[in-house]
Amino acid sequence: MIKATVEECRLAYGALRRINEEVRLPQKPAWRVSRLMGKLKPVVAAFEETQLKLFRDAGGTEDGRGITLKAPERGDDEASEAFEAKMQEYRDAIGRLNDELRALNREDNEIDYDPLPMDLFVDSDKIPEEKRMRFSANDFMDCGPFLKE
């Protein structure tokens, strides 16, 4: 069982996805990586769904790239005080949204899987140099609690 926050799950899912797509993994590591990704995907999907709802609730509108929160525009004959009140309301909504997203990212999860051992990603000495697995240190760092030595 792996205990991790939503943020750790999201980071690990992205790193494992990059590893899965960019590195020619042997059969056993490929299988273990894909199974762990399957365990993380529901957490990531739930976060994304909740994130969209929070953005919509904060007044976000969908465009071709996602949801955008647009700052209020000042009307031609709108008084400064009225516009500043709208801007303060907008800033407060953004602050609440950020607080809710931070809290969501800090939520704990238990993933029913064992951490992947680092030696799973070591090539045999018999593998030619050009066919060896190549990894990013950032991907390993992003895997956090999902890797063990």
Predicted confidence pLDDT, tens digits, the chain (149 residues): 999 999 999 999 999 999 888 888 888 889 999 999 999 999 999 999 999 899 888 888 887 777 888 888 888 888 888 889 988 988 998 999 999 999 999 999 999 999 999 888 776 666 666 666 677 788 889 999 999 98
Query: 44 with 9: CB under 8 angstroms?
Result: yes
84: containing domain: 2-148
What pLDDT does 121 receive?
79
DSSP structure class, residue 70: P
What pLDDT does 109 receive?
94
What pLDDT does 133 receive?
67
Which amino acid is it at 37? M
Among the listed residues 23, 37, 3, 16, the one whose alpha carbon sits nearest the alpha carbon of residue 106: 3
Q: Please count the structural domains in the chain.
A: 1
Query: 97 with 54: CB under 8 angstroms?
Result: yes
What pLDDT does 131 receive?
67
What pLDDT does 33 receive?
93
